[in-house]
Structure 1
Amino acid sequence: MGRISGRAQAAVRALSPSDFSRIIAAGLADEHPLLPRTDCWLAEPVLCDQRVPVVFDEARERVTSIISRVVRDRVFRRVVLRVYDERCAVTGLKLINGGGRAEVEAAHIRPVEANGPDIVSNGLALSGTAHWMFDRGLIGLDDDMQIIVSRQANDPESIRSVINGSGRILVPQREADRPHPQFVRWHREHCFKH
C-alpha cells in the first residue's frame, strides 16, 4: 500500500522551469494559430501521396524568463479526493485508471489566484470536464448545493445530461468538509456566467 508502480511513475515527469516556460509560450503564441495541414480530402487523389518535408534537427530559439506563481499545497488534492471518496461531485462517477489513480481532480471553488485557500471546504472533487466547466463559469452552485447551468452555455442540455440524478453536488459526510457557503457565493458572483 502506498507504493507507486513503475508504470504510474512513467506517466508524469518533472519539467525544468525553462521547459515549462517554452511549453506555455508555444501554447499561447498567436503567430501560428493552427498547425500546418495538408488538405488531402480536397486534393486530387494523385496529390495525396506527396508528403510535407520533415526537418528532424531544427535549431529552436530559447527564451529565458522568470515566473512568479502562487505555491499550492500538495496535501489539498489528497484530502479533497479522500473526503469525496474519489468521486466527481457533479457527475457522481468514480473512475480509477489501471494504475489505481482516480480520474477526478481537486478543484478550488475560490481559485488560488483569487486568494482562495487550500482547505477542504474550498474544494470539490471534479472530473476533468466538470472542472473545466466549473472554472469557466458554465456550471455553478446555489446556496442549497443545487448545480446551476449558465444560460450562456452553448449546449445546456448536454451539460444537464452529465449531472448526477439529484441535480445537487455530492457532498462529503462531515459537515466541516462540505463547501463553505462563502466560497460558493464567491464563485457564483465572480466566475459563474449568469
Structure 2
Amino acid sequence: MAFGVFIHRQDSIYDDSPAERYQFPRQYLGRVQACVGDWIIYYEPRKVAETRGYFALAKVQQVIPDRAAPDMLVAVIEPGSYLDFANPVPFTGAQGVIERGVLNDEGRISGRAQAAVRPLSPADFDRITSFGLHDRVPMLPRLDEQAASAGFAEEQAPFIYEQPRDRATFLTSRIVRDRVVRQVILRAYDERCAITGLKLINGGGRAEVDAAHIRPVEADGPDIVNNGIALSGTAHWMFDRGLVSLSDDLDIIISRQANDPDQIRGFISKTGRALPPLRAHDRPHPHFLRWHRDNCFKQ
C-alpha cells in the first residue's frame, strides 16, 4: 500500500466521479494498484482556471476493468472515505512546492509533476492533508499566482502523525469530518441558507446556518460538497423531515402533507428556487436530489 496523487479536472474527459470512481488508462495500472487500501489526494492542475490545487482525499478500495471502455480501468473509491479539503491547497506556497516529491536533485520541478497518477511520500501526504483539513488554516488562495504572494504563515506549519493509526483515526473521525464538511459547504454558499436566501450572523460572528447532507451519511451519503446544502435551523428541520425538497433545477418543492403550506411559502425564498452555490461545480448533484425526493420527501 502507498499514498498517491490522482489528477482530476472539473472538465475531465474521463468518466470520473471522485467520491466513487476514478477512470484511468492502463499505463497507470501499477501506480494505482500500489494505492489500493490506502489514501490518495486529488489534485487539479495549475493550468485550470481557478484551480483548486489539492482539493480532496479518498481511499482506494479496488481496481476493476471498465466494462464500458475496454481500454480503461477504474479505481473504486471506498464508500464514505472521500472528503473535500476545508482549505484547497495550492501547488506552491511561500515555503516553495508543497509536494516535495516532484522536485529533482537540484530542487527544480521535474517531469513527475505532469503524471496523472503518481506516488506520494508519507511526509508529503501529511503536509498536504494538514494544510487542507486543519481548521485554523484560513481559506487558501485558489490561483497559484496568488499563492506565491500569500503563502502559508509560519505558525501554520503542518502537524505530523506519530503513527499510521493516528492518521487513520483522524481521517475517519466523524467529528473531524463534520467540522470539515461544515466549512466546505458554508463557504460554497457564502454562509447563506439556500432555502431562504438569508445570511444571519450571531453576536459571536458565527453563521447561523447548518451544513446539511442531502443524502445522509447513515444512508451512505458521501462527504462531498455536491451532496451538501447550507440551511438555517428551521429549513434544515423541514428538509430532513421531507416537508420541502428540491428539483434537479433547484426549484423548492413543498409537500402536500405540510399542515400549513402557505406559511412555508412565506418562509422560503420569494423566487421559489434554492440559492445556488457560488461556484457551478459545487451545485447539488441531481443523483442526491433524486434520492432525497424518493426517500425523504413526503409526496
TM-score of the alignment, normalized to the shorter chain, above 0.5: yes
Letter in 1 for 2:298: K
- 1:180 counterpart residue number: 285
TM-score scaled by length of structure 1: 0.63
Alignment pair present for 1:71 and 2:174: yes
- 2:163 counterpart residue number: none
Alignment pair present for 1:161 and 2:266: yes
Whole-Å separation in 1 of the counterparts to 2:258 and 2:229: 21
Alignment pair present for 1:97 and 2:207: no
Q: Deviations over 1:108-156 (max 9, x none)?
A: 0001110101111000000000000000000001121100000000111
TM-score scaled by length of structure 2: 0.41
Query: Following superposition of structure 1 onto structure 2, how do residues 50-65 of structure 1 map, counting pairs within 5 Å?
Result: none
Note the residue ranges of structure 1 that are not aligned, 5 or more in a row.
Answer: 4-69
Letter in 2 for 1:170: L
- 2:49 counterpart residue number: none
Higher relative contact order (CA 8 A, sep 6+): 1
Q: How far did residue 71 of structure 1 move?
A: 2.4
After TM superposition, the structure 1 stretch with the greater mean CA deviation from structure 2, 102-111 or 173-182, is 173-182
- Between structures 1 and 2, the one with greater strand share: 2
Note the residue ranges of structure 2 that are not aligned, 5 or more in a row.
Answer: 1-135, 138-172
Question: Share of identical aligned residues, percent?
Answer: 70
Alignment pair present for 1:128 and 2:233: yes
Alignment pair present for 1:190 and 2:295: yes
Pick from 151, 158, 163: which aligns with 2:256?
151
Secondary structure at 1:186 match in 2: helix
Letter in 1 for 2:202: N
Secondary structure at 2:229 match in 1: strand
Letter in 2 for 1:134: F
- 2:213 counterpart residue number: 108
Highest Rg: 1 or 2?
Answer: 1
Alignment pair present for 1:86 and 2:191: yes
Q: How far did residue 165 of structure 1 move?
A: 1.4
Q: How far did residue 107 of structure 1 move?
A: 0.4
* Runs of 4+ residues deviating >3 angstroms: none
